Structure 1
């Protein structure tokens, strides 16, 4: 799909613009990445991979919970999201996994295995990352993952396969589709409004809608059973978390995910929608912290 600038994208991500923005920035091979590294330097490192539209601020409350309990956290905005570059490249899991791998390497964080968390589309990115270097991943936490719905003729990557059609839909109805998607993510309307404001603020930068629609073209979010199965065969200790009222990746896929991932640790979070790390950060931390600690104790013993 040809790169485009949509209506309402009235800002550009330049070096000068970034001087006024929060967070840290680093120039990687595909572009500038917006990231935050927080928490005690001697704590086990938790790296988080986010979903289709979210900036790194999505993780703030969960990172705060994990930092308070002794864990170090690394969050970043995937290319095309937050304040990371809108790149003219194929937006797929290979791009996003490479971004995470380069970021951890450039920051000198590869000395010991890390703990990887992926939510929604980010779960597919996390699984791709883990497959590239299983020894680098101590634990894997998957939250409300995309990928287990059956691939149909109406699947986004099929509908948007034609570049002209994809560009037309993105330009004409992209922002409307985006807002509709965000409205289904969070159970609590107040949190939903907060999430929408957070995402749309970053979508004022040129190339944001292009990045989302190019991702929908090239990163299939259905029919990915093989990726789950391959991840389960890696032998990485896996924790599976899911909101009981997830309207985006329904809980009906929970048992399939648990079986394919061979996840011995799993938990359903009550009164929670699709974005558990954002909606229920304390409850998610309650699951991640002992899971990580148990693995660390086994490695140290």
Structure 2
């Protein structure tokens, strides 16, 4: 029994030591580091959030809400198209991502709703706006519209999560949601998988079809992995039919684009979205994957800008 106890303690120490060693090179995201960022920072209660507000002054506003792991620059090609079409565009990095602070919070549905409300209030945006939700940004925008319909004109969803999402369920997902062992697996295994995500392999893509920023830079700072892990544990990426059905009940117009070669948000999600929001306009791009908003921006942007121009807001 004594040797078994010593063995157990040695195992725990080895796990802790390997976990600590794996995070040894992470730096704090302080004001010195943030000075390298383009854009501006808004002060939310307890945190600074990085944002860019561009386009013609006084033009109709489009708020772009990114997904799980890639910051707001994932929308660069789409934001440019919206600006050319006469819109003002708000891009931002979720707390825990990009150049935004990484508070030690519970990153759940209430958190992301609070974040979006706090950002709009900090920027004194009172008028209703159009919203774009990408991947995880889909259910964030849907929930925001259900809770605050008076702040939303219409919605455009790009490969929205909430239905059939790879990796959101199963034994491995359950392990990661388990305290202690899940934390170790996250840092030692999952974070390496995220850094090596095939989506970020841009071999063969023209420069204008690539991400307009280095997605791995944010991974050098403390708190990024913790924010992703908390989001994975507390923000449901599947089973959100009720959220989208509630969005449908608001009467807010919704359009969505899916890719039939998306390995993350499976194409079966398109039918489920249509079932939840019967009036939604759903488009499917043949051969497009999860990065279709920038890799296939020439196909996506006319649909995107046209959708908001239908509101009579484009100039």
Q: TM-score, structure 2 length as denominator?
A: 0.85
- Once the two structures are superposed, what CA deviation does each residue of 1:74-130 show, in whole Å capped at 9, x if it has no partner? 0110011100011110012221221111111221222x2100110111111111111
Q: Is 1:51 aligned to 2:60, yes or no?
A: no
SS in 2 for 1:22: coil
In the alignment, which residue of structure 2 is the partner of 1:134?
Answer: 149
1:32-52 C-alpha deviation (Å, 9 max, x unpaired)? 101000111122111011111
Using a 3 Å threshold, how does the CA distance of structure 1 residues 191 and 203 change in structure 2: closer, same or farther? farther
Match of 1:162 among 153, 160, 178: 178
For the pair 1:121 / 2:136, whether they are aligned, the reply is yes
Relative to 1, partners in 2 of residues 1:108 and 1:197: Cα closer, same or farther, differing over 3 Å?
closer
Shift of 1:295: 1.6
Change (3 A) 1:168 1:187: closer
What is the RMSD computed on CA atoms of the aligned residues? 2.6
SS of aligned partner of 2:310:
helix
Tell whether the 8 Å contact from 1:62 to 1:282 is kept in structure 2 after alignment: no
Task: State the structure with more CA Rg.
Answer: 2
Following superposition of structure 1 onto structure 2, how do residues 60-71 of structure 1 map, counting pairs within 5 Å?
60-71=76-87
Q: Distance in 2 between matches of 1:264 and 1:147?
A: 15
Distance 1:108 1:296 in 2: 23
Deviation at 1:271, TM superposition (A): 3.1
Compared CA separation, residues 169 and 190, structure 1 to 2 (3 A)? farther
Is the contact between residue 50 and residue 120 of structure 1 (CA under 8 Å) also seen in structure 2? yes
Mapping of residues 246-257 of structure 1, within 5 Å: 246-257=262-273
Residue 219 of structure 1: how far off its partner (Å): 0.8
Q: What secondary structure does 1:198 align onto?
A: coil
CA distance in 2, matches of 1:52, 1:217: 12
Alignment partner of 1:215 out of 231, 239, 250: 231
Q: Distance in 1 between matches of 2:191 and 2:250?
A: 39
CA distance in 2, matches of 1:283, 1:61: 11
**In the alignment, which residue of structure 1 is the partner of 2:13?**
none
Per the normalisation by structure 1, the TM-score is: 0.88
The secondary structure found in structure 2 opposite 1:91 is coil
What residue is the counterpart of 1:275 in the other structure? 291
Per-residue deviation at 1:7? 2.4
Aligned to 1:172: 188
Report SS of the residue matched to 1:231. helix
Report if the CA contact (8 A) 1:187-1:245 is conserved.
no
Say whether residues 1:108 and 2:137 are aligned partners: no
Unpaired segments of 5 or more residues in structure 1? Answer: none
Within the alignment, does 1:259 sit opposite 2:265 as a pair?
A: no
Q: Distance in 2 between matches of 1:5 and 1:86?
A: 20
User: Any stretches of 5+ residues in structure 2 without a counterpart?
Assistant: 1-19
Distance 1:67 1:148, change over 3 A: same
Number of matched pairs: 292
- Distance (whole Å) between structure 2 residues aligned to residue 206 and residue 168 of structure 1: 15
Instruction: Tell me if the contact between 2:157 and 2:257 (Cα under 8 Å) persists in the aligned partners.
Output: yes
Q: Which moved more, 1:94-103 or 1:125-134?
A: 94-103
Secondary structure of the equivalent of 1:51? coil
C-alpha spacing 1:44/1:175, structure 2 compared with 1 (3 Å): same
